[in-house]
Structure formats: structure tokens, C-alpha cells
Chain A
């Protein structure tokens, strides 16, 4: 890459012939500027190194103190909690970095301990005055500080003033939005997915997976996912259909069956996948009926469904609808045909191909 500079060299050397003195001067100045810049970047690198080392050292030292303090607070009955807390706070938690380190360490504790310790860990968080620090982050303009505050709040199960967090569900920055989702999901006592009602930006697959994951640790009653099956965002509808299948909410099978005729492609597609997971063979007649008018993607899903929960006769019903030129579909068809009859050899497959198509 540093070919460019060499060219400047030639450009200058040629200029020199026409206008020697001033060009020389400019070049001397330029080399000096580049040189000084190079030296300053080197010093910057050194500074970064030293700075990182110092702050890491400081962090390591503080971490040891923190772990020791928190352990005493948690397990030592002879520990003078209130006095020691004030001492520690005044002595060790002065800078922003200190507070960040303390927050992180408390998160590590919260992540590893549960039961009676969880409440004590929260008590320490408040005792250190880190809640105010968190609110500062939350009200800060920078997106990453907002996101961080939300992240800490849901991991430690802290309640934040709703005036500050409600609007963040539809924040412009994606990371803030996502952390807000998780905050509401984890903080809710009776309606973990209630925030979906207010969501106005499509849910990415990443977010869906995180929400799914968050639901696993939700201790209350599993929500009725059909509540969001008519949400205005297709991604939310698709998500609730996935969840209906994952949580085996069979009572909603009729709605899913209806969705096989939905006008949105994505919804028909997910309806098939969800119903297949719930092993609902009653959808197969509809699938066969609609087969010829579906997209190739849905056709492939239909094959898969028949392979999973249908019969070889169902498959044969579809053969007439496969166009001669639809070679991709033929291969898919034959895959399922072989699934039903694994002993078909390669030649037999060819025969099968001739009979059915």
C-alpha cells in the first residue's frame, strides 16, 4: 500500500526541475511534519500501552479488594457491613473507572451466584452508590452508555424509572433498542413480552433468538404467544408463531392452519414450519391443494413437511404439479421419495422419476 508516497516522491523530484528552491522548502517542511506525526503516533502507542497497563494494574488491584469485600459482605457474619461499606466507597471508588470496575465485578457475582446471595449483591450495588452512576449513564446522550446502563439493570434485576426507559424500546440505535427489549423482558413479573406491543421496528433474527433465550429463564407463567400473532410487524408475528411451536401451544393450531392461506409469503412459510414442528398432519390437504401456486421456497418446505409427517401417497399427489423444467424441485422431490423408501438404488430412482413425472 505505501506505493502512493513513492509517487509523491517522483512528482516532487520532477517539480524540482522547474521550481527548485520553494519546492525544496515545502518538502523539507513536509518530511518534518510526517516525521513529527510519526513520532507522535509512536508516543501515542506508547501512551496507550502504558495507560492500558496502569489501568489494568489498578483494575486488578481493585478487583481483588472488591472480591474480598463482597465475599466478606456475603459470607462473614462478623463483618461490620455499614461502616465497611462507607469506608470502601470513600477509599476505593473515586473515579469513573473505579465505578465501572466495581459494576463489572458485581455483575460477575450476580452471574455466578443465586438464591439468598442475589439480594445481598444488589444491596452492595446500591451501597456503593452505583445506581446513581447507572442513571447518569442512562441519561447520557452516547448510545453505548445508555445500552450499558440497560444491560447492567437487567442483569442485576434493578428497576429503572419508566420515564427514562419506555422510549428506548424504539431508540434509533439498534444496540440501545435491543438492551431495552431485554430489560423489559427480564424485569417483567407478569407479561415478559408486553414490550412487543410498543415495538415499531422489525425484530431481527438476532433479537428473536435473544428474546427466546431470555424467556427460558423467565420463571412466571409462559405467555400466550397468540397475543402477538396479529401484530402489525410481520417479524413479530413470525416470532410468535415460532414460539407457539417451541412451547407446544397446541390450542393455537387452528389459527396457524388459517395462516396457510395468509396473503403474506413469510407468514405462510412460518405457519408451515411451525405446524410441522407441532406435527399437525391436518395441514397436508391444504398444502397439496395450494402447492402449484406457491413459491419454490414454500414448495420445498411442503416436501420437507410431507417427508416428516406425511405419507408417500401425499408425495405422489404432488408429482403432477412439478413442471418438467423445475429441476431443483425434482431433486427435492426425489430426496423425499428416497426418504420414504431408502432402499431405492440410483437406477430405481431413475425409474421412479419416469413413473411419477
Chain B
């Protein structure tokens, strides 16, 4: 019995060792590539040459798609703010996904809407559309409201894709706050690239506690709650270190559902959003990439690090738990649907780097960590745990964790420096020290539970997707 245990421990140790090495080198590369990408971006940013372009008539027109499900409290204010974006030619398409409250009615009365007999071609199959509304007023002429039966976020976006008029679409969460020049900054990669650009995404910033006036961020403030601050660090790590680096090697797999721009034709050709997964944003991009690769068309996916989109992150543990649980399921579903990419050299970076990364770092990591905890308890039970040793090892992990967070903080400082007050920096540093102990275990558990739920609830996938829209925060920073 004891002999077997040692053998087991040996094997487990080896596995943990390999995994640990992969992860460390992964993080080092992420940090390095992010740094290079941010540096280049800063240098380009110096010219700030976008403004004169606002007067050009040759800029492509953009359709902004925003699904709304029971948003009656804020939808009017949000639409007003969207209508004042700085861009020469765009339309706002609000998709009312069968809300049970007065979302539609308040839109109709505020913006003076009438049922418009719009002709469109249903490229993607969706739930039934009850009607498309336009405004009688000239000042709201670029607003369109689609009323449809409830079908979840993916289905709502697909309806928007079918009914919208322009070739570039920008999918957003209706409750996020966009900077005025957001469309212009995000469309730039589409216009200034040798390769075909199929999508571009932006950084998601945390709006909690910021001062907001008329749907604009007036002053950036650090959230008062630890939970929100921990997520700020998490978003820094994910966007400034993660996505920046992936963008450098053109291996981005995810553009947040909260804020991304797509080439409509490619979206349609790849079949639109998949309503059967809770990770529809990631799944779509992977499918679009796959399509381009299969058709052997050179293409790229772009990422813009400017702070352009602000959103409220969950302030309660319960909501956060649900959100992370869902993200985990979304990741696994996407990887499952596209397992053909994994380690497939035909797909280049996508197959050899991006998908394996997502599997090891995003899917497996919480599981392995959880297994580790069980392992620890087992050792304790068998009397193999030495407190002294435990503390020393704990020190290694802990210092590495904060080193990683602090590096992300450094990138923020180096690039956009949104938290200007010195006391904000101090508080963020304090959060970095506490976060691995107080926040991280909870998020890990939510992810593990996501795995369990997926296995147990396999038959009721469809049912789960319906809750997608009512969930308060839909932004995914991983």
C-alpha cells in the first residue's frame, strides 16, 4: 500500500513538474510579446491621425448590433449614448430578444418608432422576427429596432446580422459604455491591412465606481470593492498581457462578446453565432478562422489596446460565480466543437499554439489545481505533509502569482495609465497581494463546478443557453 502511494506520488510529481514548466514558459512568452506589441502600438499612436478621416465619405459604413433582454431600466440612455458615437456613417440596431418587460414599448415611445416593412434576406436561421421598427424622426434615422421571439444572445445577434444594412458589424453589449472614437479606432485595422481582416476586438475596461455622465466616462476611478479590484487585475492580465501577446502572433481565439467588430460576409459564410453554446463569442471567431484557413485565404484578426469599452463587472460573489461557471462551459464547448484544430499543423498558430494554450491554461489549469488540493489533503491524511516544507513551497507560488499581477500592472502603467492617482496604484498593489489568497480560489472553484455542471447537464444544454442574456455581465476577459 505504502509503496504504491510513493509510486503514485512520483508520477503525479512528474506531471505537475511538466505542467508547471509549460505554464511558466507560457507566461514569460506572453509577457515578452505583449511588451513588444504595446511598445509598437504606443509608437504608432503618436500620430493620432484618425480625426480628419471623420469627414471622408469613403469610410465603410458600420452596423452596431446590440441585443437587449429585459433592459428597460437603461436601454433608452444606452441608445442615446450610442447614437452620439463619432463616425460618419453607421446604424444602431437594437435587437429586443423577446423581453418580458417594457424594453420595446419604451424604445417605441421615446424614439417615435413605427413598424417598418424592411426587406431582408435571412442568411442565418433564427427565431421568428415579429417586426422591425424605424423612427419617424430624422434625428434618429440611423436607429433600427428588431423585435423577435426569445432565443438567447447568439440568436439575437444572428437576427441583427440578417437585418442590418452594412458590411462591417460591431457587436456590443447594450450596457457597455463606448468611447466616442471607439468605432473609428476599431475599424482602422480593417482599412489599413495588407491581409483581409475578419475581425477586430478591443480591451474591456472596468467601469465600476467610475464617474459617468450622459453615458460617458468623465473620471476613471478605482472600484471601492475588493471583488471589482481583483477583476481589474484579472482584466489587465488577460488583455494587456494575454490578448496583446496573442495578437502579435495572430493567434487570438476570442474577441469579447461585449465589444468586437466583424466582417459581415465572413460571419454569414461561417454560419453566424452558434445558439447552442454559452461561449458563442469565442466559438464564432474560431469558426471564422477555420473557414478562412480551409479556404486558404490569407487573413488576420486584429486587436486594439486603447481603452474604448467600459463595462460593469459583477459586484457580488454569486453573480461572479455564475459568470465564471458559464465561461468555463463556453470554453470547453468551443474546444469540443473544434477539437479537429488541436495540434493540427495545418492550422498553423491556431492549431499548434492557440488551441493547446486554451486547453492547458484555461480548461485544465483549474482542474489540475483542484486535483492538487485533493492531493495535498491526501498527503496530509497519510501524514506526509511537513509544515515547514509546505510554507516554503507556498512562498514560491505566492511570490510568482504576485510577480505576474505586478507585471500586468506595469504594462498598464507603461501603456495607458488610466488610474492616475498614486493612492489607486497603492490599492491595486495591495489587491495584487491579497488576490491569490482571497479571490483566486473562488474563481477556480467556479471553473471546476462549470466542468461538473457540463458533464451532469449535458442533456440540458439548450436550456442553459436561454439564460445567457439575462446574466448581468457578459464580458469575457480570459
Contacts and interface: CB of A to CB of B under 8 A. Distances in A.
Interface of A is mostly: helix
A2 B191 contact: no
Contacts of A31: 392, 395-396, 398-399
Contacts of B395: 27-28, 31
Contacts of B366: 3
Interface string A1-40: 1111111111111111110100010011011001101100
A16 B375 contact: no
Given A41-B410, A204-B193, A14 B46 contact: no
Nearest to B412: A45
Interface of B is mostly: helix
A42 B376 contact: no
B212 interface: no
B389 interface: yes
Contacts of A170: none
B246 to A, nearest CB: 13
A355 interface: no
Contacts of B398: 5, 31
Contacts of A49: 413, 422, 425
B56 A213 contact: yes
Q: Counting chain B CB atoms within 10 Å of each CB, which of A8, A148, A175, A327 scores highest? A: A8
B392 A202 contact: no
Interface in A195-211: 202, 204-210
B194 A202 contact: yes
Interface stretch (A219-227, A259-267, A278-286, A330-338): A330-338
A13 B376 contact: yes
A11 B20 CA distance: 7
B434 interface: no
A1 B238 contact: yes
B375 A14 contact: yes
Contacts of B188: 206
A101 B191 CA distance: 31
A34 B375 contact: no
A126 interface: no
A121 to B, nearest CB: 20
Given A8-B20, A45-B425, A49-B422, A2 B436 contact: yes
Nearest to B422: A49
A10 B400 contact: no
Nearest to A18: B10
B337 interface: no
A44 interface: yes
A48 interface: yes
A164 interface: no
Contacts of A16: 386, 389, 393
A4 B406 contact: no
Interface in B199-254: 234, 237-238, 242
A144 interface: yes
B403 A10 contact: no
Contacts of A331: 119-121
B138 interface: no
A208 B56 CA distance: 10
A1 B121 contact: no
B393 A45 contact: no
A212 B402 contact: no
A190 B121 CA distance: 50
A35 B376 contact: no
Interface string B374-412: 011001000011100110111111111111111101100
A246 B440 CA distance: 58
A209 B190 CA distance: 13
A331 B192 CA distance: 32
Interface string B51-93: 0110111111000000000000000000000000000000000
A211 to B, nearest CB: 10
Q: Counting chain B CB atoms within 10 Å of each CB, which of A4, A9, A212, A349 scores highest? A: A4
B12 interface: yes
Contacts of A346: 117
A327 B121 contact: yes
Interface string B354-373: 00000001000110110010
B58 to A, nearest CB: 5
Contacts of A42: 406, 429
Contacts of B438: none
Contact of A208 (B58, B120, B193, B385): B58
B55 A213 contact: yes
A318 B58 CA distance: 29
Interface stretch (B21-29, B171-179, B282-290): B21-29
Contacts of A28: 392, 395
B443 to A, nearest CB: 9
Nearest to A53: B422
A147 interface: yes
Contact of A7 (B20, B49, B117): B20
A1 B392 contact: no
B3 interface: no
A147 B436 CA distance: 44
Nearest to B433: A38
A14 B403 contact: no
Interface of A: 1-18, 20, 24, 27-28, 30-31, 34-35, 37-38, 41-42, 44-45, 48-49, 52, 144, 147-148, 151, 174-175, 179, 202, 204-210, 212-213, 242, 246, 327-328, 331, 334-335, 338, 345-346, 349
Interface of B: 6, 9-10, 12-13, 15-17, 19-20, 23-24, 26-27, 43-44, 46-47, 49, 52-53, 55-60, 117, 119-121, 123, 188, 191-194, 234, 237-238, 242, 361, 365-366, 368-369, 372, 375-376, 379, 384-386, 389-390, 392-407, 409-410, 413-414, 417, 422, 425, 429, 436, 440, 444, 478
Given A9-B393, A14-B13, 18 more contacts: A6-B397, A8-B16, A8-B24, A11-B13, A13-B385, A13-B389, A17-B6, A18-B6, A31-B395, A34-B396, A41-B406, A41-B407, A41-B410, A49-B413, A144-B46, A175-B47, A202-B194, A204-B192
27 contacts: A1-B361, A2-B440, A3-B369, A4-B24, A4-B361, A5-B397, A6-B397, A7-B372, A8-B396, A10-B372, A14-B379, A15-B13, A34-B399, A35-B403, A41-B409, A42-B429, A45-B425, A48-B413, A144-B43, A148-B46, A205-B60, A206-B192, A209-B56, A213-B53, A213-B55, A328-B121, A334-B119
